[in-house]
Amino acid sequence: MSYRKEGVITSLLIYKSDGSSFLFPTLFVKTYKLNKDLFINDEVIDNYIYKYSYHYSISLLSRREHSIFELKNKLIKKNVPSFIIDKTIEKLLGENYLSNERFIESFIRSKKDKSKRELFFLLKQKGVDYKSCEEEVNKIDEISRLENIIIKKIKTNKSEEKIIKSLVSRGFNYYDIKKVYKDLV
């Protein structure tokens, strides 16, 4: 079975003997010279799926760091079997393409306006283990983050009450906010 988009075949649905199926992109189908009349045993199909999941993962990781949990979920959405997901993750970890530590550092760097509490919560949502979250989040200097955010907020001519309210809602400590605000004003 093939899927068409404006007259162009975009993918090919391949069925395994156990009844499971997998949707192969046409580029992959062409690369491995697959066609609808070709019989392929399950081992060969699993090998193709593994190659596909590996290349798809590399493509995702080339754009930004991902946690192991995020990458697993993306592969699950692509209907990759769990044993192939595990094999792919293992290879990516072995080749150092995938690292939760790098993901945490990258994530924290990209969220400069977030409090420690909010970062910890967001990292837990991304599937990072408690110990790793705690170690990296505790390295953050929350006072300097607060200073930078308050300076930006003061430039927008917002009242002290609005600034404090917005920062408290982001998880910053009320007393830290008051102290930093008084030091800056």
Domain boundaries, the chain: 2-98, 99-140, 141-185
Distance CA 63, CA 61 (A): 5
pLDDT at site 6? 47
Distance CA 85, CA 71 (A): 9
Q: What is the pTM of this model?
A: 0.73
Q: Is 122 exposed, middle or buried (CB count within 10 Å of its CB: 0-12, 13-18, 19+)?
A: middle
pLDDT at site 91? 95
CB 124 within 8 A of CB 133: yes
Under-70 pLDDT residues of the chain: 1-12, 22, 24-41
pLDDT at site 28? 62
pLDDT at site 4? 42
pLDDT at site 34? 62
CB 68 within 8 A of CB 100: yes
The token pair that represents 2 in the structure block: 């093939």
From 164, 166, 165, select the one nearest 178 (Cα to Cα). 164
Distance CA 23, CA 159 (A): 55
Q: What is the architecture of the domain spanning 2-98? A: Orthogonal Bundle (1.10)
